[in-house]
Amino acid sequence: MEKKDFIQALKYTLIAASAGLIQFGSFTVFEEIFKWDYWPSYLTALVLSVLWNFTFNRKYTFHSSSNVPKAMFLVFLYYLVFTPISTIAGDKLTAILNGKDYIVLIGTMIVNFVTEFLFQKYVVFKEN
């Protein structure tokens, strides 16, 4: 692995971790305080973390200022696939696992972390 790739992966990981804190924290508020079901809690928390993650990774990890609408559209396409799959699967898994919402959330966040990094690196910001 080249030094540039390592630094890029490290920056992405740190920013994604901060987005993960936003997602986990907001999910907890929606579930524990507002008493929402899994899927609206997850979906709202996911949207908040995606906005944070995209904004900061575009600027600091991939150093991209060109064609932001195109980059946003490509990320939208990723989430057009990921969101319904993870929301429906997560809702079904929490029912199967008898309400183990946080285990499902953490598993989904790990899958999202890996697949989104690869998608952003090799599709969205491949020119950088």
Query: Which residue reads 């910001």 in tokens?
Result: 125
The whole-chain average pLDDT of the chain stands at 95
Helical residues (DSSP H) of 57-100, grouped into ranges: 68-96
- Model confidence over 4-19: pLDDT tens digits? 999 999 999 999 999 9
The total domain count for the chain is 1
Q: Given this model, what pLDDT does residue 128 score?
A: 67
Mean pLDDT within 76-94: 97
Q: Which domain holds residue 66?
A: 3-124
How many CB atoms lie under 10 A from the CB of residue 126?
A: 10
Report the alpha-carbon distance of residue 51 to residue 13 in Å, rounded. Answer: 16
Residue 109 has pLDDT above 70, yes or no: yes
Q: What is the pTM of this model?
A: 0.93
Write out the H or E segment, with its range, that includes residue 24: helix 3-28
How many CB atoms lie under 10 A from the CB of residue 120?
A: 24
